[in-house]
Structure 1
Amino acid sequence: MNLFDHVDKRKPGFKLALIGTVLAVFVLGLGAFTRLADAGLGCPDWPGCYGHMFWPDSATDVEKANQLFPDTPVEHDKTWPEMVHRYFAMTLGFISVMLVALAVKYRSPTQPLKLPIFMLGFIILQGMFGMWTVTLKLWPQIVTAHLLGGFSTFSLYWLLTLRLSNQHWQLPADIFEKVSALKKWALLGLVIVACQVALGGWTTSNYAAVACPDLPTCQNQWLPVMNFAQGFDIFQAIGPNYLGGTMENESRIAIHFSHRIGAIITTIYIVLLAFMLLRVGPHSATQRMAKILLIMLSLQVLLGLGNILLKFPLAIAVAHNLGGAFLLLVLVTLNYKLQTSRCLSTTHTTHTSH
């Protein structure tokens, strides 16, 4: 018997959660563009921009803004990305409020309530990290936490969408046992990818992406001089403005080198995980999941290599950020499918209890 998906009636809020997931992609992309274009301080104040609801545009407004903020004169190519990103993020917050309202309205044992409430609280915290990113002048710890918060928000929205879709794997008994054995390995894969995303965030927030401009060596050496102690010192002392970074090159090399090693470990593990999915048998769902994993992994590796070989073009760098988010999403999907899978022999008895 082939593996197949079973879809019950979708729960209230599914379409809204799906819209929120799509919007979260734009928020992530805009955030990556803002950060990588060095526009994180395009607006030196918060929540406005040079005292404006949007950003100063006319010559008179720009002149007044420059007088108010003489240390950070207006740069038009950096003001709009920051504010567009803020408004998209704010819209995502409103959607979270609506999802909580729907969860309360249709409250039942099968309607998720704790997750929408947690998401709303998390997005409020994420907004505070966005504020601190500006007020603390790109402090790398805050920037990294804000980036990870964006990835987490995207993943949580997708998880809620999956739960509201009410779609599950239904498996024959022999396949159910094989698939259940993969739960711990899929969870470990999710943790590994999350750690690699965190390394990527630390790399970009410390401006370490360009520390190794060559491949496969770094600074034309297989093992360059590195300062791991300073590179990963989360209590590092910083100046009043971290734009451009203040670390010594050896510290940035240590960060970049670690991200490369993390990429190798992640690649090997995801390939092995995909192979384990393929070994379950010739079943459409596991085969499809394994192929999606390999495709997303391949794209992410190619984007990472392209970043270095093409000298870090902005478009490739933003795509590499989004690639990491989508790879994480595939792992979230796999873990959800494994955790909610049902054995066909007990489907009818467990159908109403899920």
Structure 2
Amino acid sequence: MDAQSLYDLSPLARLMLMGVVVALGPLAWVWLRNRQASPARRLRALTLLTLFLTFDLVLFGAFTRLTDSGLGCPDWPGCYGNASPVGAHAEISAAQSAMPTGPVTHGKAWVEMIHRYLATGVGVLILTLAVTSWLQRKHNQGGVPISPWWPTATLVWVCLQGAFGALTVTQKLFPAIVTLHLIGGLVLLALLCAQAVRYSQAQDERVPVPLKPATRWLLGATFAAVVLQVTLGGWVSTNYAVLACNEFPTCQGSWWPYMDFRQGFELWRHLGMTADGEHIGFAALTAIHYTHRLFAYAVFVALGLLAWRLHRLEPLRTQARWIAGLALWQFATGLSNVVLDWPLVAAVSHTGGAAALVVVLTWSLFASRTALDTVSASNLSASRLSA
């Protein structure tokens, strides 16, 4: 396929229609269950459902990547210029006959296109959230008005995420772009989670839980560390470096195996190649894997400490339990990837655990506030009332 045919927009309208069809089910479910509810309650329900479906989309994206289906349809946004693999049957059959285990097969094409259908459906739901929030922006419940800016920012971000999805295909799984696409999905989860927390606070007339500055700092630092660790994990996965170390806790029989960090963390290069066009060395893959493993130890300790600190606060005990449970889940699935030779279930579960951690930490951040800020806000409100 030549460079000009990598982008074929002829099936775009049909794909958008497919996204509307995918979104109609969730929209109808929210409307039926919340017909008599307030606008804030309906927005909260739709945001939570969109968050859930976006989480599923991240998992299916991991499944797409791990089954090598990312190039199942080598053009964008359709499949050989068609809206589904059915219309591209001849082209896919020819590619599969020429290379039976290659990137293009009927099964891989369907996995890739289902991923695109789901992504388009989520985009329609986010567009609905943005439009509805603008229409209801003057509504006020519990003293907290509905802000259209969060859904608008989410809509802009999902459009950028779609662009990265297109580049993932047309740039032939360029590692930096694939990793950024993964991180973009997690940012989307965080944006939706933040909105869901705000709507819940508005509906229940709750204020953020005051935290001591040290605990609040620990929460923010742990969130940043998890994001960095997920980025490292994405770099491991997109470079297929998981099996560079197939034992634990050592790697290749050593506590410090031979590693090439310069080559391993050379960001702008094609898959399996260096920037100079040479094949990437095994020492580089080892450096990628072992860096992710070493940093995981620090993140695991930080998550444990954070869970212990939050568990001492009654309003945040649910988040504390989730953080502790997900930390253990990540340890178990990460270890399974190493000692069981990267089974698909463990690999997808590991990505799911990382996405869930981002959601729970975002939930904790927006459900809390530094105690000093809370006191200051209370004093300000009291001053205004007395005035």
If the length of structure 2 is used for normalisation, what is the TM-score?
0.78
Q: Which residue of 1 aligns with 2:320?
A: 290
Once residues 68 and 237 of structure 2 are traced to their aligned partners in structure 1, the CA distance between those partners, rounded to angstroms, is: 11
Q: Shift in Å at residue 287 of structure 1?
A: 2.9
Once residues 313 and 277 of structure 1 are traced to their aligned partners in structure 2, the CA distance between those partners, rounded to angstroms, is: 34
Matched-pair contact (CA < 8 Å) for 2:40–2:146: no
Matched-pair contact (CA < 8 Å) for 1:44–1:72: no
Matched, 1:327 2:360: no
Matched, 1:263 2:284: no
SS in 2 for 1:27: helix
Matched, 1:113 2:148: yes
Matched, 1:183 2:213: no
Q: Which residue of 1 aligns with 2:238?
A: 205
1:193-229 superposed Cα distances (whole Å, 9 cap, x missing partner)? 0000000011111111111111111112111100001
Matched, 1:339 2:369: yes
Q: Which residue of 2 aligns with 1:4?
A: none
SS in 2 for 1:339: strand
1:283-324 superposed Cα distances (whole Å, 9 cap, x missing partner)? 532333222211111111111111112211101100100000
Q: Shift in Å at residue 115 of structure 1?
A: 1.1
Matched, 1:92 2:122: yes
Q: Shift in Å at residue 334 of structure 1?
A: 0.8
Matched, 1:44 2:74: yes
1:105-139 superposed Cα distances (whole Å, 9 cap, x missing partner)? 01137212111111111111110111101100000
1:242-284 superposed Cα distances (whole Å, 9 cap, x missing partner)? 9xx9421100100100000111010011111122223x4xx53
CA 1:54–1:316: 2 relative to 1, 3 Å: same
- 126, 129, 150: which one pairs with 2:164? 129
Matched-pair contact (CA < 8 Å) for 1:32–1:321: yes
SS in 2 for 1:218: coil
Matched-pair contact (CA < 8 Å) for 1:12–1:164: no
Once residues 71 and 306 of structure 1 are traced to their aligned partners in structure 2, the CA distance between those partners, rounded to angstroms, is: 26
- Give the residue type in structure 2 aligned to 1:227: D
- Give the residue type in structure 2 aligned to 1:120: L
Q: Which residue of 2 aligns with 1:26?
A: 56
Once residues 323 and 316 of structure 2 are traced to their aligned partners in structure 1, the CA distance between those partners, rounded to angstroms, is: 11
Q: Shift in Å at residue 239 of structure 1?
A: 7.8
- 77, 89, 92: which one pairs with 2:107? 77
SS in 2 for 1:234: coil
Query: Number of residue pairs matched?
Result: 335
- Give the residue type in structure 2 aligned to 1:182: T
Q: Which residue of 2 aligns with 1:306?
A: 336
1:164-216 superposed Cα distances (whole Å, 9 cap, x missing partner)? 22257658xxx94x545422211111101000000001111111111111111
CA 1:249–1:66: 2 relative to 1, 3 Å: closer
Q: Which residue of 2 aligns with 1:139?
A: 174
CA 1:256–1:44: 2 relative to 1, 3 Å: same
Q: Shift in Å at residue 339 of structure 1?
A: 2.7
Q: Which residue of 1 aligns with 2:32?
A: none
- Give the residue type in structure 1 aligned to 2:112: E
- 239, 242, 253: which one pairs with 2:286? 253
Matched, 1:158 2:193: yes
Structure 2: state its 5+ residue gaps.
Answer: 1-37, 139-143
CA 1:169–1:216: 2 relative to 1, 3 Å: farther
Matched-pair contact (CA < 8 Å) for 2:93–2:105: no
Once residues 237 and 78 of structure 1 are traced to their aligned partners in structure 2, the CA distance between those partners, rounded to angstroms, is: 22
Q: Which residue of 2 aligns with 1:103?
A: 133
Q: Shift in Å at residue 40 of structure 1?
A: 0.9
Q: Shift in Å at residue 52 of structure 1?
A: 2.1
1:39-69 superposed Cα distances (whole Å, 9 cap, x missing partner)? 1111111111122211147865644677999
Matched-pair contact (CA < 8 Å) for 2:310–2:317: yes
Matched-pair contact (CA < 8 Å) for 2:69–2:109: yes
CA-based RMSD of the aligned residues comes to 3.4
